[in-house]
Chains A and B, each alone.
Chain A
Amino acid sequence: MKKNFFISIAFVCIVLGIMMSTQFKNVKNSDNLTVQRAEELTNKLKQIQKERDELKKQINDLESKISSYENSAAKTSTVTKSLKDDLDKYKELAGLSDVEGPGVIVTINDSDKQLQPGDDQNAFLVHDEDLLNIVNELRAAGAEAISINDQRLVATSEIRMIGTTMNINSARFTAPYVVKAIGNPDTLEAALKLKGGIVDTLLNWGIQVSIKRSDKLLVKKYDGVLTYKYAKPYEGGNN
């Protein structure tokens, strides 16, 4: 009987050991998995950000090369000179060159009101709609070049809230937002400060808005690439 007991208890203990180690491995793995995954993703993100910065630098280099070519081409004849002038003009209109002039700087920040219990925190943040309204108002007042946090607003620019951050030209920002607009400073300021207008509404919510006039304002160029994948020039005929 004693021998039987030893054999079976040894067997049972071996099985128990296998089960325990399997379980142990499992638990350890599942813990590691999430940590590993997060680490992997952070590394990837860092790498891609580095790549992006390098590519941006490359773009800048190439752009300066292009402009030097343009300049040298412009010197060869009057035709190329006028072409270059046209190019510069259209670049300016498209938002592809830095521009300066008089205008206003509007700084918008989240509300500094103390949150009362029961208040919706969302109501005290600057929303994409607020920025869109301001930009809209500025455009209506004749602003010629607008940038938010140095992101030039061009025809394809988006202003979109993602969680608590704002996506502008695919770059992410949080408050404060600095909107620079070139145009007639008086008109721009008056348009924003209309009674019952956008600034009034925002101040009601406690959102901090400050408008500063400037005689000489630099609005940076759009540093992305403007290409259309689907839109083609209309070539006439009946479609």
Chain B
Amino acid sequence: MALIIVLSLALGLAIGFFLPINLPPAYTSYLSVAILAALDSVFGGIRASLENKFDNAIFISGFFGNAILAAVLAYIGDVLGVPIYLAAIFAFGSRLFTNFAYIRRYILNNISKK
């Protein structure tokens, strides 16, 4: 599984570098929040699969939904002058670490069982 993640991530990076996708610099902050949301979804998905609770529909909808919601929140925050994107960063950031902690524990447990 780890191999698939690394390979597809590398593939994505390569595609991103070679395709002439250029975002106007003004949107950088939105994309960064969206990236955080996506990262959170990936970790969530890994954790779910390790716990054998993985649901494809939830995973995909969560990935896109979170990313879009985070970007929209950042945009609204920019318009209103309230740094709402901090909420997204905080929520996704803390979830990221919790998910990572679960994954870590699961893997360590597996290793010690062997």
Contact = CB atoms under 8 A, between A and B. Distances in A.
Interface of A: 1, 4-6, 8-27, 29-30
B4 A22 contact: no
B102 interface: no
Secondary structure at chain A's binding surface: helix, strand, loop or mixed?
helix
A26 B23 contact: yes
B28 to A, nearest CB: 5
A13 to B, nearest CB: 4
A17 B17 CA distance: 9
B58 to A, nearest CB: 10
Contact of A19 (B4, B8, B34, B60): B34
Contacts of B31: 19, 22-23, 26
B72 to A, nearest CB: 16
Interface of B: 1, 4-5, 7-17, 19, 21-23, 25, 28, 31-32, 34-35, 38-39, 41-42, 45-46, 49, 54, 56, 59-60, 63
A14 B12 contact: yes
B46 A9 contact: yes
B86 to A, nearest CB: 18
A9 B12 CA distance: 12
B16 A21 contact: yes
Given A5-B49, A26-B22, 10 more contacts: A5-B59, A8-B45, A9-B45, A12-B60, A19-B38, A21-B17, A22-B22, A23-B28, A27-B28, A30-B25
Given A9-B5, A9-B46, A17-B15, A22 B23 contact: yes
A22 to B, nearest CB: 5
Contacts of B39: 16
Nearest to B18: A21
Given A6-B4, A23-B35, A17 B54 contact: no
B12 A1 contact: no
Contacts of B54: 1, 4-5
A26 B20 CA distance: 12
Contacts of A25: 16-17, 22
Contact of B59 (A8, A21, A30): A8
Given A26-B31, A27-B28, A17 B11 contact: yes
B22 A16 contact: no
Contact of A17 (B10, B28, B45): B10
10 contacts: A9-B8, A12-B42, A12-B63, A14-B15, A16-B38, A17-B11, A22-B21, A23-B23, A27-B28, A30-B25
A9 B13 contact: no
